[in-house]
Amino acid sequence: MEIKIETAGVEDSDLVYQITKQAFQDYLGPAFSSLVPALQESKIDVKEDIKNKEVLIAYVDGMAAGSVRFYSINEKEYHLGRLGVLNKFAGKNIGKKLIKEVEKRVKASGGQEITLISAYQKKKLLHFYQRLGYEIEEIREDEDYTRVELKKQL
């Protein structure tokens, strides 16, 4: 199994859109509002993210398996978001490889800290981030669901 991480271009916006929609389907349920931002975004929103943020796509043996977006808040702080891995690739370390690639690129740019926000109800996902060194900073009740902010010093 060969895993490659590549930077998305505007021409990949439909692919990133489809990965996000499929990967976030399990946010449709009683613990979440139907207004989950990842499921509400349009293809135009994704295209704008690709233009204004860094977006990475993971490929497994040439097939798109997942994606992630990140951007600088300032020269030292970065935000990671929309990490999504397709179900058929779950458990194959795709998410971990995407995060490690983000961390590598953030460090190379002089970044010292990465923040991300996740659903507090998704305990398996929360523990995944904690195993990668992300620590809980804040838990907050938002209109659509409970979120947790996690942070990692690089």
Q: Any idea what the CATH number is for the domain that residue 106 is in?
A: 3.40.630.30
- Residues β-bridged to residue 59: 4, 64
Count of structural domains, the chain: 1
Residue 32 lies in a domain: yes
Q: How many helices (H) and strands (E) does the chain have?
A: 5, 7
**150-to-11, 41, 45, 117, 131 alpha-carbon distances in Å:** 31, 23, 24, 6, 12
| pLDDT tens sequence across 96-150 | 999 999 999 999 999 999 999 998 888 999 999 999 999 999 999 987 778 999 9
Q: Would 68 be classed as within a structural domain?
A: yes
Shortest CA distance to 60 belongs to which of 86, 31, 99, 25? 86
pLDDT above 90 covers what percent of the chain? 81
Residue among 19, 1, 5 nearest 59 (CA): 5
pLDDT digits (tens, 9 = 90+) for 2-21: 999 999 999 999 999 999 99
* Residue at 137 is within a domain: no
Residue 148 lies in a domain: no
Q: Is 134 within the bounds of a domain?
A: no
Whether this prediction's pTM lies above 0.95 is answered by no
d(CA 107, CA 109): 5
Question: What's the confidence (pLDDT) of residue 153?
Answer: 98
Residue 30, in any domain of the structure:
yes
DSSP strand pairing (54-60 vs 63-72): antiparallel
Give the structural domain span for 44: 3-114
Report yes or no on 129 lying in a domain.
no
pLDDT at 24 over 90: no
> What is the residue type of 57?
I
Q: Compute the average pLDDT of residues 80-104.
A: 96
Classify residue 132: in a domain, yes or no: no
